[in-house]
Amino acid sequence: MNSGVETGLAGVWGTSASNVFAVGSGGTILHYDGNAADNWEAKVSNTTQDLIAIHGTSATNIFAVGKGGTIVRYNGQWQVFSSPTSNDLIDVAVWGNNRLHVMTETAVYRYDGNWVDVTPADFDSEQSRLAGLAFDGTVVLLAGAAVSETEIRTIVFRADGTAWIEHLAADYGLCLVWDIAASADRMALGFKCGALFAPIWPGAFVVENDDSWWRGGFELLTMSQSKVFGAHGCTDGTPPAVGMLNPDAEQPIKTELSACMRGIWAATDCDVFAVGSGGAIVRY
């Protein structure tokens, strides 16, 4: 697809395959309207900060977050939104009109008219790192990793009112969760794994939902010598992962690009968009 830019892109989200936004370096925001020429249009973001993640609930309730605590909101045009922090924001989960969670690597904030720090009480910012947020249509999920000198332990929390309840905790050896995506019945976790603190291969776990509670039965999809930077579940439950990974087999998707793909979003029927370095945008 023709992005029209050479700046790095990090996040992508849309309401349909004909209404997709991508965000990236220098406040870049691009929009795709489904045109047959596959051209993306640059939008005025009103920020020059790097944007890292984007999410929304409708065509007029979209948020993007990034460096320096930057938050911008789209409700017909992009405008700067208040922020609870000056630290880099790495993910956002929007769950209502002007209702959202944002996160840094060590803190989580909720906005519902006012910003509140809702970092899990037992989260050790010196020994742990937060990795991603997701909204499964009902609750917000928070993924992170508790890191020590000898192990990395993956933790997933779900929001329950103003508290976090541990949703999944598992030791995947030397795997560090990188991203999370969720739907009503499945959760996909993107991982990078290998020697401790020196990841060399990626993967994605799929966790099925049983009566609103995640259970075991993990499926690991891998491809060697590449990184998984994101995961997004499709309507049939398969988890494409950016690096990129074929949702139907343990084989990389051929993109004919040398770009590092960093963000992914799937429209209905596994119509997948991915974005990356150098303005790269591909559609699968």
180 and 282 within one domain: no
Whole-number pLDDT of residue 246? 41
Residue 50 has pLDDT above 60, yes or no: yes
CA atoms within 13 A on the CB side of 108: 29
At 73, the pLDDT band (50, 70, 90 cuts) reads very high
> Tens of pLDDT along 213-250?
333 333 333 333 334 455 555 544 444 445 444 444 44
Same domain as 93, residue 44: yes
Residues 77 and 165 in one domain: no
Q: Can you tell me whether residue 98 is helix, strand or coil?
A: coil
Range(s) of the domain holding residue 78? 1-119+257-284
273's tokens: 């968009």
Query: Which residue in 154, 156, 66 sits closest to 102, CA to CA?
Result: 66
CATH number at 40 reads: 2.130.10.10
Q: What is the pLDDT of residues 108-153, one digit of tens each?
A: 999 999 999 998 877 777 777 787 888 877 778 787 776 666 666 6
- What number of other Cβ atoms are within 10 A of residue 39's Cβ? 13
Q: Which of 20-24, 94-98, 160-164, 243-247 has the highest mean pLDDT?
A: 20-24
Question: What is the structure's pLDDT at 8?
Answer: 94
User: Mean pLDDT, to the nearest integer, of 19-29?
Assistant: 98
Same domain, 41 and 150: no
What are the DSSP calls for 16-61, one per residue? ETTEEEEEEGGG-EEEE---TT-B-EEE--S--SPEEEEEEEETTE
With contact defined as beta carbons under 8 Å apart, do 236 and 196 qualify?
no
Number of structural domains (the chain) is 2
Of residues 265 and 16, more confidently modeled: 16
256 — pLDDT class (breaks 50, 70, 90): low
Given this model, what pLDDT does residue 99 score?
Answer: 93
Domain co-membership, 143 together with 83: no
Residue 64 and residue 177 in one domain: no
Q: pLDDT tens across 153-212, in order? A: 677 777 766 677 776 555 554 455 556 766 665 566 655 544 444 443 444 555 544 433
3-state DSSP helix/strand/coil percent for the chain, to nearest 5?
A: 5, 55, 40
Mean pLDDT, the chain, rounded, equals: 76
Question: What is the maximum alpha-carbon separation in the chain?
Answer: 52
Could you tell me which residue, 270 or 84, shows the higher pLDDT? 84
pTM for this predicted structure? 0.80
